[in-house]
């Protein structure tokens, strides 16, 4: 799996919105849901009562 630079990811986001009409907000919401799903899948039932996810401002 290749990691993208911030510049490359901005371009991927731009092209996704331009070519497929998927709004940036929808992509961010999907990313957040997928992070939550992965945490539940990989760490449940050992999860504490609260989980904190830290992320940057985005691209």
pLDDT in tens, 5-54: 989 989 999 999 999 999 999 999 999 999 999 988 888 777 777 788 88
Q: What is the pLDDT of residue 51?
A: 80
Check: CB of residue 53 under 8 Å from CB of residue 47: no
21: left (phi over 0), alpha (psi -120 to 50) or beta: left
Q: What does pTM read for this prediction?
A: 0.72
CA distances from 35 to 15, 18, 19, 20, 21 (A): 23, 25, 25, 23, 23
Sole residue written with tokens 């609260």: 50
pLDDT tens digits along 39-53: 888 887 777 777 888
- Is 51 in contact with 39 (CB distance < 8 Å)? yes
């Amino acid at each position: 799996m290749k990691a993208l630079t911030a510049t490359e990811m901005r371009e991927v986001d731009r092209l996704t919105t331009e070519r497929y009409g998927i709004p940036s907000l929808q992509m961010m919401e999907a990313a957040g849901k997928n992070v939550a799903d992965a945490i539940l899948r990989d760490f449940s039932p050992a999860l504490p009562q609260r989980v904190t996810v830290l992320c940057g401002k985005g691209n």
